[in-house]
Amino acid sequence: MNEPETDVVHAVEHATEAEPQDNRRQVLYWRLLARLFDPEEQAALESASLAVVEDIGLPPALLDPGASVDSIVQRHPELAAEFDGLMVPEAEAGARPEAGARPEAGTQTEAGTQTEAGTQTEAEPGPETGTRPEADDGDIRDRPAEVRRAALVSKVMLNVFSTGTGAVSAGQLARWQSDAGWLERALGCTPGDLRGGRAGGGRGVSPTGSGGNGGTPDLSRLIPQIGPELGALEGDLVKRMHLREVLADPALAARLTPSMSLIEQLLRDKNNLSGVALANAKALIRRFVDEVAEVLRTQVEKATVGAIDRSVPPKRVFRNLDLDRTIWKNLTNYSPEEERLYVDRLYYRHTARRTTPQRLVVVVDQSGSMVDSMVNCTILASIFAGLPKVDVHLIAYDTQALDLTPWVHDPFETLLRTNLGGGTDGTVAMALAQPKIAEPRNTVVVWISDFYEWRGEPLYDSMAALHRSGVKFIPVGSVTSSGRGSVNPWFRERFKDLGTPVLSGHIRKLVHELKTFLT
């Protein structure tokens, strides 16, 4: 057999070996699609998928819709590392042929192509499966690894996106939240990041660790954006729960994992709860508030507050000792004979910081559409209220306005006094906010709303007047992890023209704006 014939035979054998692996992968993905659109089992797909999973050495429990990812990882801890970053785009790079791979000589079969033997070959179509004899050796993919990845991806996707119908128990919600955390880990994120809840959270998500790759992956290619969809799924599950019955049972209530969707339902229904149910609801709200506050407090404390105040003598404690300066200033006391440096004076770093008294007025739309922003910003206001020389005032409004400043240091008590829902009339909130502005240039007003107002023009005029007076005015449309939400385009355009564009997206943006002004 001459060399060209050998090359063609090799390519055909390579295609023949690859075809079963491609078929296995397709079986697993067809089963995933079938189960997502129809909960009824397709016997042929189930038996074929079981054969594939067993053949590649994975546990059959991967095909059990009732088995959570946590339970599988508990029995097979080695799989935890495989789930982490499983769906990160970079993980697929090894499965793609390298660009510009040069085909081996003699494998081309296009019309008029000449082999090394000098014989002309006519074009022949490849097999209908899509594998072609002319596939070159550069097109080497780790197909067994692709099949394994397909099995794991199918498991986590099915558990998260096949939520069924009917009532949901506390255990089912907790299991879904855990599986959603594994999906976020598979996408290279920390559990909780994509759902617009506790960014960087993930407590109680998995007994095997919080996971995540630590970086911020590029998920821009996801269509649609998966974060808001996960949040919507979680909200739907919470609505399908018999929440009052669950809260009345301490054992069931303890199984609930606090989330933004759950907190919204608790805040809406708190006036209808009493006794044990109300106590459990308050405990869940406080747990969630504490978790969010921990994350936000870290973000606020990352930057220093104020410039160094050198008029205040430095504290003479060891942690403030400026060792380099101390050595430099005492070099004249060095004894070459003794090879010893004698120190007659210690130098310390200044740590006191100069701050100007500032006033922060936070106005929050408490309509239902803004619940996530309201929770985040209420907690954020309490954190800034704990900073020196920052005077924080908090106002919530719908068709009426409520001054929550007496409770601003306790976001838990503040949230319990809110009343979600109703219309929106920002002019009543403005009437409360304006008297609080004594020194405009030392005041920042943060207004959190979707700005779908009953009396839009009068409200905008008063906001523009605040801005012209020297007040730092920050309109905020949405401050969540996902950035989901809409803002009245009429207000959006006018704020842009005013030079105060609407801030939306992750709450870190608002933290940065406030620190820039207040420090």
**pLDDT above 80: residue 478:** no
pLDDT at residue 9 greater than cutoff 50: no
Task: Give the lowest-confidence range in 73-77, 82-86, 316-320.
Answer: 316-320
Among 95-104, 186-195, 473-482, the minimum mean pLDDT is found in 95-104
pLDDT higher than threshold 90 for residue 459: yes
Residue bearing the bigger pLDDT, 91 or 410: 410
Q: Is 66 buried (19+), middle (13-18) or exposed (0-12) by CB count in 10 A?
A: exposed
Task: Pull the structure tokens for residue 92.
Answer: 């697929």
**From 185-199, 207-221, 374-388, 478-492, the region with the lowest mean pLDDT:** 207-221
Residue type, position 291, single letter? E
- The pLDDT value given to residue 432: 93
Q: Residue 444: enclosing H or E segment and its boundaries?
A: strand 443-448
- Per-residue b/e over 104-126, b at no fewer than 16 CB within 10 Å? bebbbbeeeeebeeeeebeeeee
More confident residue, 271 or 438: 438
What torsion, rounded to 10 degrees, do the Cα atoms 20, 21, 25, 26 define? -30
Cα separations in angstroms, 517 against 324, 440, 444, 445, 499: 33, 13, 8, 11, 16
In this model, does residue 366 exceed pLDDT 70? yes
Using alpha carbons, list the distances in angstroms from residue 377 to 394, 487, 507.
10, 17, 8
Provide the mean pLDDT of the chain.
75
Q: Taking residues 375-383, what's their average pLDDT?
A: 81
Report in angstroms the alpha-carbon separations of 305 from 142, 205, 220, 389, 510: 53, 34, 34, 10, 16
**Does pLDDT of 44 surpass 80?**
yes
**For the chain, how big is the Rg over CA atoms in Å?**
31
